[in-house]
Amino acid sequence: MTKNNNLNKLLNQARSLIEAKEFDKAIPIYEAILAIDNMHIQALSHLSIIYLMNKRYEESIDMINRSFEIIKPVVGDYQNLASAYVGLKDYNNAINTYKKIIEIDPNISEIHKLLGDAQIKIADHLGAFDSYEEAYKLEPDKFQRLFDYGLILHLCRHHDEALKILNKAQKINPNHIECMNKIAACFSAIGNYSKAKNIYKKLMELVPEAMAPVIDFASCLMYEDKYDEPIKILKEVLIKKPYQNIARSNLSLLYLTKKNFKEGWDYHEARILMRNEVDATKRYDSLQKFFNIDVGKKELKSNEKIIILQDAGIGDVILGLSMLKDFYKKFKNISAEVDYRLVNLFKRSFPDVEFYPFRENRHEILIKYNLSLFDKGIYWMSLGKYVRQDISDFPKESLAFLKPDEKKVNEIRNNLKKEKNIICGVSWKSAATEDRHKSVLLKNLIPIFSVHGLRFIDLQYETKKNLGETALEKKNLFKNNNIKIEEYKGIDKFEDIDGLTALISNCDIVVTSSNVTAHIAGGLGIKTFLFVPFSRGRLWYWHDEGDKSIWYPSIKIFRAESAGVWGTIFEKMAEAIKQELNL
């Protein structure tokens, strides 16, 4: 009886404190109640909320989960649990909890929005797309729903559709700064730099202390192929904000584009710190628990055990491999991690270095080597600061540094039954961020397909996103123009890089957009005709002076005539192929 009396007394005290909004004072009372009855539902429920309010997230989660053993949870319970997980930045558990709420009631727009927010945190943009779209469908006239949906459309590179949605949002809230900023970003992404710049100018007036609109304005100038003005603007930004990583990274691209390598490399490593700010895995931070990473410095020593770290796509890493021979002369004790699809090719090409497979699976980094073995780390695209400081450091003649699997090469050669015709490998799309600027339709290449004496082989890889598109394009090209692009069967050109490399080795020439195919062909020393956009989407290492790549001397570069317009580039490429091959 005494126990119950004590319990009732404590409950009355706690109730009075809650009514008086003295939440912190209620904590020890509820804890005392749980000491008497560790599964008291009211104490568990109220204490979980107070802990949540006080950012004691782990204790809140414990209370909530204990209460679930007693009562069937309802939407509000799961909402509190999800909020606690978000507070801990445990976004995967938050996502699972929001999904449980949606199972109970799929018509709560705010829950779909919160689910999308959590998915954004782990860079699950496709998941966030579905969540924000559902929230928008449930409340199509609400500003936040329009803004979130427009934002994810922009992130997923559906810029035209994003503009329509964001413009609707702006009509509801005309002075919303971030909405204006995203509208400008969409205009910039589709190549309407004039409209984008006007919005950025307005933002600079509205929020003069903000650096983002200034940097974005400078980016538009870069996309218009201007040089001196954006450099001046970015330098002014860095006077005010010396460690503004986006400004430093953009400045590096301007310098590197103009072959000003020393200054370019000095700023280039800001890209690592910039990515780390948005990286769901925070890998840069976690790696530094094992060794120092040579970022923003130049401090590697010849006697140290060095690991070269993955920091870019397959094409850029192949570009990095082109520097490995010179880097190896300075640092003998090196190993490297590379995309799992490149391991066999790289081991064959450079047997003196140990290559470890690197895989990213649903925003989780998967490696199978001991990080504690190494003294220092350096990223692939940072090797240049040691071995490519001046134009004289680049190879002068065609340098075939990739070693294909000869067995596969011979097998493909026998299957192709090569006769008199010259085999021309063709690739015309990129899956990279700037794909809309780098890619073309297959029919755009008709001037090249009209060159007599060429046999065309499909080198175009496909991602899950565009599966089946190339087959349809080839079918229509044959139907409408009687032009055949052969498909060599048995090679997954996205997964099987070794097979793709062997197929490219069997080509006499390659015609390609700026993608992985270009790097493989250049690394094999295959005569390659590369088309790149005028400015936006043209990567800095496809330099704008002369038509021959300084990184891959076997590649000739053809640049679009103006922003957003390819012009007569493919006719010029066709003529160059005729002259080069005496056709």
Per-residue pLDDT tens for 321-378?
A: 999 999 999 999 999 999 999 999 999 999 999 999 999 876 678 898 999 999 999 9
Packing angle, helices 41-53 and 23-36, rounded to 10 = 140
| pLDDT of 536 | 86
- Per CATH, the number for 406-581 is 3.40.50.2000
CA distances from 494 to 171, 307, 475, 498 (A): 43, 26, 21, 10
Per-residue pLDDT tens for 181-227?
A: 999 999 999 999 999 999 999 999 999 999 999 999 999 999 998 99
DSSP 300: -
2 band by pLDDT with thresholds 50, 70 and 90: very low
CA angle 300, 306, 312 (to 5 degrees): 100
140 band by pLDDT with thresholds 50, 70 and 90: very high
491 band by pLDDT with thresholds 50, 70 and 90: very high
- Rounded to an integer, the average pLDDT of 6-25 is 85
| pLDDT of 78 | 95
| pLDDT of 1 | 34
| 89 vs 564: which has the higher pLDDT | 89
Q: How far apart are CA 507 and CA 459, in angstroms?
A: 10
| pLDDT of 546 | 67
Q: Which amino acid is at 510?
A: V
Sequence spans of domains, the chain: 304-393, 406-581
| 26 vs 236: which has the higher pLDDT | 236
CB-based contact 8:29 (threshold 8 Å): no
Q: Which helix (H) or strand (E) holds 315?
A: helix 314-321
Residue 533 makes CB contacts below 8 A (sequence gap 6+) with: 437, 438, 559, 560, 563, 566
Query: Three-state SS for 558?
Result: strand
564 band by pLDDT with thresholds 50, 70 and 90: confident
CA angle 558, 564, 567 (to 5 degrees): 50
pLDDT > 70: percent of the chain? 98
| pLDDT of 330 | 94
Residues forming a β-bridge with 232:
none
What are the start-end ranges of the H helices in 20-40?
A: 23-36
CA distances from 392 to 253, 408, 545, 551 (A): 20, 36, 15, 12
CB-based contact 561:539 (threshold 8 Å): no
| pLDDT of 37 | 85
Dump the DSSP string for 245-290: HHHHHHHHHHHHHTT-HHHHHHHHTHHHHHHHHH-TT-HHHHHTTT
- 4 has pLDDT over 70: no
- 565 has pLDDT over 50: yes
Q: Which amino acid is at 180?
A: M
- Rounded to an integer, the average pLDDT of 34-60 is 90
How far, in whole angstroms, is CA 261 from its chain's centroid? 24
Count of CB atoms within 10 A of residue 119's CB? 24
Closest C-alpha to 358, from 274, 268, 287: 287
Q: Within 13 Å and on the Cβ side, how many CA atoms surround 90?
A: 13
- Rounded to an integer, the average pLDDT of 479-494 is 93
33 band by pLDDT with thresholds 50, 70 and 90: confident
* The two structure tokens encoding residue 413: 């050669």
Mean pLDDT computed over every residue of the chain: 92
Per-residue pLDDT tens for 142-167?
A: 999 999 999 999 999 899 999 999 99
- Rounded to an integer, the average pLDDT of 80-98 is 96
CA distances from 399 to 154, 321, 322, 396, 521 (A): 40, 12, 9, 8, 11
Dump the DSSP string for 43-85: HHHHHHHHHHHTT-HHHHHHHHHHHHTTS---HHHHHHHHHHH
| pLDDT of 307 | 97
Per-residue pLDDT tens for 424-435?
A: 999 999 887 777
Per-residue pLDDT tens for 238-273?
A: 999 998 999 999 999 999 999 999 999 999 999 999
CB-based contact 91:282 (threshold 8 Å): no
CB burial readout 162-186, b (16+ within 10 A) else e: bbebbebbbeeeeebeebbbbbbbb
Count of CB atoms within 10 A of residue 500's CB? 26
Q: Return the HEC string of 179-222.
A: HHHHHHHHHHHCCCHHHHHHHHHHHHHHCCCCCHHHHHHHHHHH
pLDDT > 90: percent of the chain? 76
CB-based contact 11:33 (threshold 8 Å): yes
